[in-house]
Each structure stands twice: as C-alpha cells, then as structure tokens.
C-alpha cells in the first residue's frame, strides 16, 4: 500500500499523472522552522516527520510505503512558507519581484525496511512586478495555500520567464526524484 502524507491537491495530481495509485492521509505536525535552521534541513525534516507520523498510525506496516513532502521558497536567505493572509502574500510577492529565488522540496519515503530523505532545489526567476500586478494576483486568491505565494502552474506562469531545475519541484513534488526513490523501495 502506498500513502501520500500530504493534503496538497497538486501533489495528488502529480502522482496520478505518473500513474501511481495511492491513498491520502495527512499528518498534523508543527511546521515552525527551528532557530537558525537551513531551508534544506527544514523541508527534509518536515517531509520525514509527516511520513513517519502517517506510517506510525498503521498496525500492518510490512507492505506500507509512505511519502511525505514539504515545499518552501528561499529568497534572500528568508524561508517563505504559505501566506497567512493577503497582506502576507503581497509582502512575499514584493520580495520575489525582479529576483531569482529557490524552491526547495523535501521528500521522504518511509517503509518497514527503509527510510529515505532527499531534497530538490530549483532556481526560479521572477520578473519585476508592478503593484497593480501584485494586487490583481492576490485578489485572484491563487497565492493562498502556496509556498512563496504563487503557483507556477497557474496565473503566476506569466511572471516567470525561466527556471533552472525541475519544473515539477516548483509545482510541489520532484517527480523524477520521487520515482527513483520508489524504485529502490518496491
């Protein structure tokens, strides 16, 4: 049995896109970054804690594989999670405007015989955004629930002229890396 330990509809869509069958269970963990914690260490820790929490709920673990994931945005040394409200989304978009940043996704696979944790980093360039563009985008509601307050697969696509690395990582799950990890567990 394969379980995705995430409530993200984007992660569900991506796993379905590559033909995987899975159940979804969420894990309620504290997602607060620890003082001085590096962004890569942060997302890897959260991904592993989510996967381990869901794995621990099951009594028959012999055939269980749980995938945990967490995505964050790193800009000028600041970790940007999901915006709390519209004002926070505006703050994040202003910070990203006209700059390159990194999207970092931690992934963890937990099974009875294995525990694998990795991170994928993608560089993303954002055009210089006008206050009008930011206001209109925030008013669309799309930034809410998205790390860094944008969705590359949505309306924000027009703000991103280039990326270096895995596109699917920016959406929320580095599919090639996850697939390679799964091959070693099955």
Measured distance CA(100)–CA(127) in Å, rounded: 9
CB 84 within 8 A of CB 119: no
Q: Is 45 left (phi over 0), alpha (psi -120 to 50) or beta?
A: alpha
Beta-carbon contacts of 92 under 8 Å, excluding residues fewer than 6 positions away, are 73, 80, 83, 143, 148, 149
Smallest Cα–Cα separation from 3: which of 76, 50, 64, 91?
64
Q: Which listed residue (30, 70, 85, 88) is catalytic?
A: 70
DSSP H stretches of helix in 98-149: 131-139
Query: CA nearest 46: which of 133, 95, 1, 104?
Result: 104
Q: Which helix (H) or strand (E) holds 39?
A: helix 39-56
Tell me, yes or no, if 85 is annotated catalytic: no
Catalytic residues, by residue number, are 70
């Amino acid at each position: 049995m394969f379980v995705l330990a995430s409530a993200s509809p984007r992660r569900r869509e991506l796993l379905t896109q590559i033909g995987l069958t899975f159940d979804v269970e969420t894990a309620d963990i504290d997602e607060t970054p620890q003082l001085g914690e590096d962004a890569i260490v942060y997302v890897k820790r959260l991904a592993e804690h989510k996967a381990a929490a869901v794995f621990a709920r099951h009594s028959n673990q012999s055939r269980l594989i749980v995938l945990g994931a967490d995505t964050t945005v790193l800009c000028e040394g600041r970790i940007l999670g999901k915006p709390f409200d519209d004002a926070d989304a505006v703050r994040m978009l202003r910070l990203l405007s006209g700059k390159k940043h990194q999207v970092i996704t931690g992934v963890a696979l937990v099974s009875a015989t294995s525990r694998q944790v990795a991170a994928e980093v993608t560089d993303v360039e954002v055009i210089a955004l006008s206050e009008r563009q930011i206001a209109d985008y925030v008013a669309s509601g799309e930034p809410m629930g998205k790390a860094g307050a944008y969705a590359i697969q949505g309306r924000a696509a027009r703000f991103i002229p280039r990326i270096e690395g895995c596109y699917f990582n920016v959406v929320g799950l580095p599919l090639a890396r996850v697939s390679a990890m799964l091959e070693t567990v099955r």
